[in-house]
Amino acid sequence: MKDGIDNFNEEFYENIKRVFLIKKLISKRVRLPFSGALLTKNEVLILFLLYISKDHSNDVQELINILDLSKSQFSKLTKSLRDKKMITTKYNQKNKNFLILQLTKLGETLLKEQYKEITDIKKLVFN
């Protein structure tokens, strides 16, 4: 019985460490090259969630649920990210009612340049 509790505690501890590493990563504000504009923490979080998603894309409704934002808040954030050329939007090919956000190469490059540890965190999340 004790081994089961110890294993649970160890696994729980490792998961908590992952959460705090991710929190540390996304709590930084990012200054865009050339324009000097700042990305908000929520914009960085959206980019990060897209980065760790399959094919660097995700359904809008799923992201809204994860972030616990209103549709209007999320819409403002995604408009800002589209204007900054960080993401694109497209409709799901199987169901045209679902809008998909896709991380652009520029968005991916920005994340990689700003956060060298992003690859390590991606490995932590998925291993």
Per DSSP (E only), the strands in 5-114 are 30-31, 38-39, 57-59, 87-91, 99-103
Rounded distance between C-alpha atoms, residue 47 and residue 58, angstroms: 11
CATH number, domain containing residue 10: 1.10.10.10
pLDDT digit string, tens, across residues 35-75: 566 788 888 888 888 888 888 888 899 899 888 899 999 99
pTM assigned to the model? 0.69
Taking residues 4-13, what's their average pLDDT? 71
Domain count, the chain: 1
| CA 11 from centre of chain | 23
Domain that holds residue 73: 2-126
